Amino acid sequence: MEIISGGVCAAKGFKANGIHCGIRKNKTKRDLSLIYSEKTANVAAVYTTNLVKGAPLLVTKDNIKNGKAQAIICNSGNANTCNANGVEIATATCECLSHELNIDKTDVVVASTGVIGLPLDITPIKDGIPELVSGLGYGKSVEAAEGIMTTDTKLKEVAVSFKIGGKECKIGGIAKGSGMIHPNMATMLVFITTDCAISSEMLKIALSTDIQTTFNMVSVDGDTSTNDMVVVLANGMAENDEITAEGKDFNTFMKALNTVCVNLCRKIAADGEGATKLLECKTSGAETLEVAKTVAKSVICSSLTKAAMFGADANWGRVLCAIGYSGAKVDIEKIDVWFKSQKGEILVCKDGAGVDFSEEKAKEILLESEIEILVNLNDGEYSSTAWGCDLTYDYVKINGDYRT
């Protein structure tokens, strides 16, 4: 298995594009993206758990109930959520695109991201679709990734090459996500493409299983968004024998999917609104997997811990505090905690109590841009990882001025 370039265009038969159609005021910002498969693909998707759901999610869920799709269209700058005519706009988007691509409108995945409750005019989307389609290309994953960005400061894409049955397969993805990032479900937009032949049923199993240890373990600010989804298209153009059951080939596919998803998780967390540091909490020695996950997420979600990491303050008590209110069944008197980065590793807590350590060394470790918080519960064999970021002054500035 190898990390390669190409993003959503790495797999055979996938084209992409991104343009500025006029939804966003800044004409230098792309605001409409398209991913297209030359062949109808099997599809799987998971959606936000927020009871308030964007109209595009409702339309997409209905469109792909047959397990098939051929295109993904997404606009940024407007979430098309809590709008009286939201479903009408999302449906019209699918219809306009299907006409231009000469595909069935139910083979379109539609998505939106941006401000909630702002009316969305179909005109710029309708007028932009011909340019969007005519500009489709095999090397335009970057353009598509740029078109779905909102407060993101960094482009998020990755691709992986792997083999199944002697056939080279590829899987790649793009993502957006910077604020309103919190479990459960993806709480971001992630679009993944693969040329691996896998049934829609097994694709659904793969995705729903993987997100439990990837996208559901990411948190930036504790707010679960209204529009988020993860979608995977598999067009089978690698020509491997179709994966229709669990086994060696399915496990290989799962590993490739997980590699893509973990990579995107780290990118999303590191680019949290106002963030200066990627935080990765690794728990080990848990009695159950659920305990390991709960502890890791609680530490990552702790505002006090996030603020301490911003200030490079080795305030390990905040880590224990977060574990204590997590609801997980743990023995506090068994817990060990370390802080780790490229500058080294330092033990700050042993058996639930403080130990002597160099504050100078700890600060040197915590000044790095990627920080690991290592927690050993010393109570079992299960482990888990969660991703987040520090909490900075700029987070408040960004969200205080979000609509302006």
Residues assigned a catalytic role: 187
Sign of CA dihedral 370, 258, 226, 155: positive
Residue 320 tokens read as 């224990």
C-alpha torsion angle, residues 187, 195, 155, 300 (rounded to 10) = 40
SS3 per-residue string spanning the chain: CEEECCHHHCCCCEEEEEECCCCCCCCCCCCEEEEEEEEEEEEEEEECCCCCCCHHHHHHHHHHHHCEEEEEEEEECECCCCCCCHHHHHHHHHHHHHHHHCCCHHHEEEEEECCCCCCCCHHHHHHHHHHHHHCCECCCHHHHHHHCCCCCCCCEEEEEEEEECCEEEEEEEEEECCCCCCCCCCCCEEEEEECCCECHHHHHHHHHHHCCCCHHHECCCCCCCCCCEEEEEECCCCCCCCECCCCHHHHHHHHHHHHHHHHHHHHHHHCCCCCCCEEEEEEEEECCHHHHHHHHHHHHHCHHHHHHHHCCCCCCHHHHHHHHCCCCCCCHHHCEEEEEECCEEEEEEECCEECCCCHHHHHHHHCCCEEEEEEECCCCCEEEEEEEECCCHHHHHHHHCCCC
Tokens of 353: 């109590």
